[in-house]
Amino acid sequence: MSTTALVHELYLKFSRAGRTDWHNRAHFLSVASVAMRHMLVDRARRRRAEKRGGSNAHVTLDDALIAAADSRADSLLELHEALDQLAKLDERLARVVECRFFGGMTEQETAEALHVAVRTVRRDWIKARGLLYQALGSDGSRDTAPAPQKRGA
């Protein structure tokens, strides 16, 4: 899905919901980041379902493009699952990833949205990326190692 298509779909989703009570720009971007994550995951799930025999007949001129799209859909779903596990470990780390990765927000915008210091966002971003890297494995596949323990557990 192109960035433009994603933003258009987000606009349609927000316009249908009629939500206009944003506290500030950072709040809007934070909510938009979460919505974009869910839209991308839903699209990846639909692609996976189609790959496994969905009702549409596929006609393509380039099988490599379809294989690449299927691979990206699988990777996105793995990231989504790893992000859900990260949220169980530390909700703020997952929110930082949503804002930075899915929303394209800067450290400053993320800090404003989450009501934390920019330094905290910077540390959380590094930690979250490391934990996601471990969860997904260095080759992009899921690691079979046990999930990290919750803080204070």
In a domain, 146, yes or no: no
According to DSSP, residue 115 is labeled: T
pLDDT, tens only, 68-108: 555 677 788 888 889 999 999 999 999 999 999 888 889 99
Asked whether the predicted pLDDT for residue 18 surpasses 50, the reply is yes
Question: Containing domain of residue 42, as a range?
Answer: 3-136
In a domain, 150, yes or no: no
Look-up of token digits 């210091």: 117
In a domain, 145, yes or no: no
DSSP assignments along 44-84, one per residue: HHHHHHHHTT-SSPP--S-HHHHHHHHHHHHHHHHHHHHHH
SS3 state at 103 = coil
